[in-house]
Structures are given as C-alpha cells and as structure tokens.
Structure 1
Amino acid sequence: MRDSNFLVENNARHVWHPMAHPGEMRAQPPKIVHEAEGVEVIDVHGHRLLDAVGGLWNVNLGYSCEPVKKAMRDQLDRLPYYSAFRGSTTSPLIELSFELVEWFKPDGMARAFLTSGGSDSVETCLRLARQYHKLTGQPERTKYIALKKGYHGTHFGAASVNGNQNFRRQYEPLLPGCFHIPAPWTYRNPFGTDDAALVAERCAAMLEDEIAFQGADTIAAFIMEPVLGAGGVIVPHESFMGRVREICSRHGILLIADEVITGFGRTGAWTGSRLWDVKPDLMSTAKAVTNGYFPLGAVMIGEKLVDAFEADKTGKASIGHGYTYSGHPVGAAAALAALAETRRLDVASNATARGAELMAGLEKLKARHSLVGDARGKGLMAALELVSDRAQKTPASKDVLQRVFETSYQRGVMVRTSGNIVILSPPLIITSSDVARIIGALDAALGSV
C-alpha cells in the first residue's frame, strides 16, 4: 500500500467518481476512507467516524462481520470462480438460491435469478416482465410506469424508469415507453395537501388515469420502491402500495418491487413489501445480501411468472440474459453467511428500535433548527430536508449542505447529502449510543449554519 502522502496527492486525479462532477472532484477531493471497524470508518489521517451512511445503504452488519469474511476466504480456496451459464453451476449457488427462496417465500417468491448488483437486478426485472407477457400472448405489453423521485439504478432500462432528472437528462433519449406519476410524497406534492392518506389516494388515481391513457393492454409493469431511498427517503402512506397492487392486478400489469435497499431489514420489516403487506410479482434485490463485501444481487420471481416460464414448450421462455458474474461462487458464499448473520442478529428488530430513537432525535432537531423543513424515515432509513425558508419550503443551498457534511465529519459522523437532503442509513447493528452520536453531530452541524 502506498503511503498517505501519495494517496492525498493523487486523490481524484486519475479516476472519475460515480455521481460526481469530475472537475469538482479535482478541485475538492473526496474523503479517503482507509480502514473500517465495527460501525466506524477511519480516514487516511486516522480520523474515526461513525458511518451513518452504511457504506451505501448496504453494510447492514458493519465492517467486522467475520463469518462473511471467513466464508469468502474459504470459498476462494475451494473455487474462486465458475460460470452459472447453461451447462454448469456451483455448490454455493445451489445453496443460496434455496435460502433466498425461503427468505422471500412470505412475499410470494418462488425462484431466484442471480446478478451482479442492484442495477442489474432492475434490468432483469424489466426484461422478464416483457418476456412474460410475450409468453402469455400479450406481446403489446411493453411499457413501464414508475414514480417520480424513484431510483432504480443506472443501466439504460433502469435509468429510464428512474424518476430523478439528474440521472436522466444528460443521457436522453432513454428507453421509449417509460412513464411516471407523482410520488406519494407528503412534504412536497402537486395536490396542495399535507394529508398523507389523501396524497396516496390521489397518486393512485393518477396511476389509474395513466393506465387509461396508455391503454392497460400496452403496459408490462409498474415498478416502485416500497420506501423511496435515493429520491429523499420518501415514506408512502401505509395504504399506497396495497392500492397499487390492487390496480395492477385488476389491469393485468405486473408489480415490480425494487427491494435493493429495503430487502433485508432496513425498514424494520424483512422486506419493504412485507412492511406494507403486499405480494409483488417480481423483486429486485442486492446491497445488504452480502453486507456490501461482494458485488451480488438477485431477482426474486413470483409464482405466476414461474408457472408461465416453466410450462412453456415453445422455447420462448429461454432466458437470453445474464452476467459473467451471475451467481459468482464467492459472492454466493458471502451472501449465505450474511443471511445467516442477518437472521441470527435479528437486525430488523434493532432497525425498528433504533429507528424510533433516531426519528425522535431528528424531530428534536427540526424543532430546534429552522433550517430543517422536514424529518422523515422508516426504520434505519431517514432524512432531514433542509430549507432556507420553512413557509416557502425553499431548498437550502449546496453550500449549506456542504457545511453540514463537513461539520458532521469533523464531529466524527459520516453523513450523505443529496440535493438539499441529509440522508442517514447506518448499519442495522448500531446501538442507542450510536444514535445519540449521530444526533449530536447533526445538532452541531445545523447550529454551525
């Protein structure tokens, strides 16, 4: 490993970072995370920080999960790689597919398709949705409907169903046939109300209207996050996803639940779909399935699709799609260990308890600092929306968000900022004292502004 001087001198000089302007990164290089332990990361200067970002929503079990590391080491010694394409498979893939089906069986899932990550999983869901309709004699069902502010990854199909302009504008034209309705966002919505149930009902009515306009027989699927993550931690009213399920079923439209963030306990339920008591037709997962230690994802497939694909005699159900690293044996071994630890530690229960403490702290910050327009969250995914004028809900400036980030960093807590929102997604093993540390750092940061 090169020394710290080399790392500092070459920081952001030879790489373009995801989700960042290359020029800005050169002018203001990012923090260099050098080590990690427990729920803390340590930068190249030895500064320790509680990681309130959880890597990127994915390090649910923290950075010292020895069972996952051991499983990866053992698998590297035994079989570091082999393909899962037709004609071969591996022992860890067989075992993992069994465990995933067991994990998601309460959600109505019956098969798994392995990918390399969340964007891959979403792309796979979109493809399988179209293929299903072709198999069942409805080839004109090719369109997708999604939520504004929804985030589904960065592949061309995934970006096309994204509902955030900054992931779309510079890459258009995207996949044709993708349409969006307003998100059930109580704090900001086009309906002029702060009644969450009414917002949910009106968004559902917008879905009905869009289906009628497009023609139900042209729509393949509706895709949504049970709790919207990167779009600002938007928590729908409890009625919304169930209402969407009913509408989709009535019109023969598949429901894709994007569970990349919510699939393994982050909301306090084991899945976001289970949180709202909904059974989707397809689920995209990734992130915490390996605790972030290996890039791996999975698409979970509901029984309706399984029946159609596995009964096909024409050959049209052959899946002409996959990735070199689909079901990678080291990733599968990591996932098996991560699932076992996730279950053993019952992190969903901890997410519920610590999430309640976190939200109570964030509400106190809202009462104390006029800069906070809204505090929201579910389990251990939470956000503060910062504004310069509460009455007008005017978004706080980029400079304000940068100052909040820097002060929190100096106070020993890593947070994430996106637009005018501070996003929190700490590991699901945090303690009450960790929650207090996060709130204390944010209190100082907001006070500094």
Structure 2
Amino acid sequence: MHDSNFLKEHNARHLWHPMAHPADSLANPPEIVVGGDGVEITDIDGHRTVDAVGGLWNVNLGYSCAPVKQAIAAQLEKLPYYSIFRGTTNDAVIELSTMLRDFFEPDGLSRAFFTSGGSDSVEVALRLARQYHKLRGEAGRVKFLSLKKGYHGTHTLGASVNGNANFRTAYEPLMPGCYHIPAPYTYRNPFNETDTAKLAQLCLAALEDEIKFQDPGTIAAFIMEPILGAGGVIPPHESFMPGVREICSRHGILLIADEVITAFGRTGSWTGSRHWGVRPDLLTCAKAITNGYFPFGAVMVSDGVAEVFEKDETGKGAIGSGYTYSGHPVGAAAAIACLKETERLQVKDNAAARGEQLFKGLTAFKQKYELVGDVRGGHGLMCALELVSDRASKTPIDKKTIGSVHRTAYENGAMIRVSGNNIILSPPLVLTEQHVNTVLNALDAGFAAVA
C-alpha cells in the first residue's frame, strides 16, 4: 500500500465518486477512511469519529462483526463462486432462502430472488410486477406509481420511479409510464398542510385520483419506501401506508415496499412494512442484509404472487432477470451470519431506544438554532435536520454554510451526511448512549460555528 502522501496527492484525481460532481471532489478531496472499529471510523490522519452515516445506511452491526467476517473467509475457502442460473445452486443460498422465509413470514413473504444490491432488487421487483399481470391475462398493466421525494436506485426503471429531480433530469428521457403523487412531507407539500394525519389523507386522495385518471387496468404497481430515506427521512402518518395498501388491493395494483434501507431493524421494527402493519406483495432489500461487507440483495415475494408464477404452464412464468452474482455463495454466507447476529442482538430494540434519544436531542436544536427549520425522525435510527436561512420562507441554507457544519461536526467526532440542505443521520444500530451524545455534541459544535 502506498504511503499517505501518495494517497492524498492522487485523491479524486483518477476516480469519479458516486453522487458527486467531479469538480467538487477535486476542489474538496473526500475524507480518506482507512479503518473501522465498532461504530467508529478512522481517517488517514488518525482522526477517529463516530460514523453517524452507518456506511450508507447499511453497516447496522458496525465494523467489528466477527461472525460475518469469519463466514466470508470460510466460504471463500470452500466455494468462492458459482452461478445459480438454471441447473445449479449452492448450499449457502438454499439455507439463506429458508432463513429469509422465516424472517419475513410476518410480512407474508416466502420466496426470495437474489440480486447484487438495492438498485438491482428494485429493477427486478418492477419487472416481476409487469410479468405477474401478464401471466394473469392483464397485459395492459404496465404503468408504475410512486411518491415524489422517493428514491429507488439508479437503474433505468428505478430512476424512472424516483421522485427527486436530482436523480432524474440529467438522464431523461427515462422510461415512460411512471407517475408520481405528492409525498406525505409535512414541512413542504403542495397542500400547505401541516397536520400529518390530514396530509396523509390528502396524499391518499391524490393517489386515488391518479389511479382513476390513468385507468386502474393500466397500472402494474405502486412502489414506496415505508419511511422515505434519501429524500430527507420523511416518515408518513401511521395511516398512510395502510391506506396505500387498501387502495392498491381494491384496484388490483401490486404494492412494492422498497426496504433497501428500512429492513432488518432500522425503524425499530424488523421491517418498515411491519412497522405500519402492512403486508406488501413484493419487498426489496439489500444493504444491511450483509452489514455492507459484501454486495448482495433480494426481492421477497408474497405467496399470492408466487402462486401465479409457480402454477404457470405456458412457460411465460420463466424469470428473465438475473445477475452474474445473484445468489453469490460468499454473499449468501455473509447474509446468513449477519441475519443470525442481527436477531441475536435484537438490534431493532436498540435502534428504537437510541433513535428516541437521538431524535429528542435533535429536536432541542430547533429551539436553539434558527437555521434548523425541521427535525424529522422518531422511528428508530433514521433522522434528518433540514437547514434553512430563513424559517418564514423556508429558504434552503447555502452549500457553504452546511458544508461548514459538516466539517466542524467531523472535527468534533461525528461523520454526518449532507444531502442538499438536509443533514441525514443513519448510524449503526449497535451504537451506545454515549455514541449518541458524541454525535449530538459534534452537531452542536457545527451549528454554533455558523450560527
């Protein structure tokens, strides 16, 4: 490995970073992270911080999860790779499928289709939704509905149902037949409604209206995050997702729960759908399924959807989607170990407790600092602060100021994530009360520096 001077000299010069402008990366070289232990990371200069980003929503068990590391090493010795395309499989992927059946049983999901990550899982789920309707003789059901502010990955279909212009406009035109309804975003919405329950009903009415306008017989699925993540941590009212479920069922529309972020305990429940008491038809997951230690994902399928495929006698039920690394034995071994450790530690309970502590501390900032326009969270370890330069007009804060908050917080012991004018926090689910205090103190220092 080259020395630190070499790495700093070449930082961002030959590498384009995801979700970043190349010029920004050159002007402001990214932090070079060289170590991780527990819930903390260490940069190239030896500076240690609590990782309040949790990798990227995925390192739920922290950076020292020995069972997952050992499972990866053991599987590499035994069988480092083999395809599970038709005709072959492996023992790890069979065991994992049974474990996931048990884990997702309360959500009504019993079949797994494995992918290489979250964007892959979304793409497969959307394709399966269209195929399901074709198998049932409703080939006209090809459209998709989703929420504005929603995020569903970077593949073409996933980007098409994304509800954030930042992930769309540079690549348009995207896929036709994708339509969006207002998100239950209390701080900013077209109805100027601040009551969360009333806003949920207005958004549900907008969904009904869009379905009627498009014609229910043309719509394949509605896809949503149980709590919107990358869009700024937007938790809906408890009536919203059950309302979506009822509307979709009544119109024969599949409900796809995008749980790439929310599955495996982050919301304080084992799944975001379960948090709201909803059973989706399809569910996408990835990220925490291997604690971020190996690229892996899955689409979970309900009995009702599975039955249509498995009883098909025309041959059209053959699944024409798959990836070279679908069901990778090393990824499957990592997921098995990760799921065992996730359940052993009951991380959902700690996520709920520490999430309550974090949300309470963040809420206090709104009273202390005028630049904190909105605080969102209260459902496990998913929180966000929306920063504004003027509360009355809700004008987003400028890039330089929020950048200063980020830098000062980092210097004071917390890695946070900036997205637009939002600070998003999604730390590992195994952090302690003291770790939460470190994050809050670091943010306090960041706000004080620019207030």
1:49 alignment counterpart? 49
Q: Distance in 1 between matches of 2:113 and 2:177?
A: 25
List per-residue Cα deviations over 1:26-73 (Å, max 9, x = no partner).
111111001111100000010001000000000000000000000000
Q: Distance in 2 between matches of 1:254 and 1:214?
A: 15
Residue pair 2:257, 2:273 contacting (<8 A) in 1 also: yes
Q: Distance in 1 between matches of 2:427 and 2:330?
A: 25
Residue pair 2:388, 2:396 contacting (<8 A) in 1 also: yes
Please state whether the residue corresponding to 1:211 is helix, strand or coil. helix
2:87 alignment counterpart? 87
The CA deviation at 1:257 is 0.1
1:178 alignment counterpart? 178
1:68 alignment counterpart? 68
Q: Distance in 1 between matches of 2:102 and 2:122?
A: 21
Specify the code of the residue in structure 1 equivalent to 2:427. P
- Does residue 116 (structure 1) correspond to residue 116 (structure 2)? The answer is yes
- Does residue 105 (structure 1) correspond to residue 105 (structure 2)? The answer is yes
Q: Distance in 2 between matches of 1:7 and 1:122?
A: 35
List per-residue Cα deviations over 1:68-125 (Å, max 9, x = no partner).
0000000000000000100000010000011111111100101000000000000000
Q: Distance in 1 between matches of 2:28 and 2:373?
A: 28
2:381 alignment counterpart? 380
Q: Distance in 1 between matches of 2:360 and 2:276?
A: 22
Specify the code of the residue in structure 1 equivalent to 2:434. S
TM-score by length of 2: 0.99
- Counting aligned pairs with the same residue, the percent is 65
2:151 alignment counterpart? 151
- Does residue 409 (structure 1) correspond to residue 410 (structure 2)? The answer is yes
The CA deviation at 1:366 is 1.1
Q: Distance in 1 between matches of 2:153 and 2:26?
A: 25
Specify the code of the residue in structure 1 equivalent to 2:363. E
Please state whether the residue corresponding to 2:361 is helix, strand or coil. helix
- Does residue 428 (structure 1) correspond to residue 429 (structure 2)? The answer is yes
1:321 alignment counterpart? 321
1:395 alignment counterpart? 396
TM-score by length of 1: 1.00
Specify the code of the residue in structure 2 equivalent to 1:247. I
Q: Distance in 2 between matches of 1:20 and 1:306?
A: 39
Q: Distance in 2 between matches of 1:382 and 1:320?
A: 38
Please state whether the residue corresponding to 2:60 is helix, strand or coil. coil
1:259 alignment counterpart? 259
The CA deviation at 1:17 is 0.4
Q: Distance in 2 between matches of 1:376 and 1:26?
A: 32
Please state whether the residue corresponding to 1:257 is helix, strand or coil. strand
2:201 alignment counterpart? 201
Q: Distance in 2 between matches of 1:113 and 1:434?
A: 36
The CA deviation at 1:235 is 0.4
The CA deviation at 1:401 is 1.1
Aligned residues: 449
The CA deviation at 1:192 is 1.4
Q: Distance in 1 between matches of 2:19 and 2:192?
A: 32
2:446 alignment counterpart? 445
1:34 alignment counterpart? 34
Q: Distance in 1 between matches of 2:246 and 2:401?
A: 43
Moved more, 27-36 or 228-237: 27-36
The CA deviation at 1:180 is 0.2
1:215 alignment counterpart? 215
1:211-360 mapped onto 2 (5 Å cutoff): 211-360=211-360
Please state whether the residue corresponding to 2:179 is helix, strand or coil. strand
List per-residue Cα deviations over 1:407-437 (Å, max 9, x = no partner).
0111011000000000000000000001110
Q: Distance in 1 between matches of 2:192 and 2:388?
A: 18
Please state whether the residue corresponding to 1:298 is helix, strand or coil. strand
Please state whether the residue corresponding to 1:387 is helix, strand or coil. strand
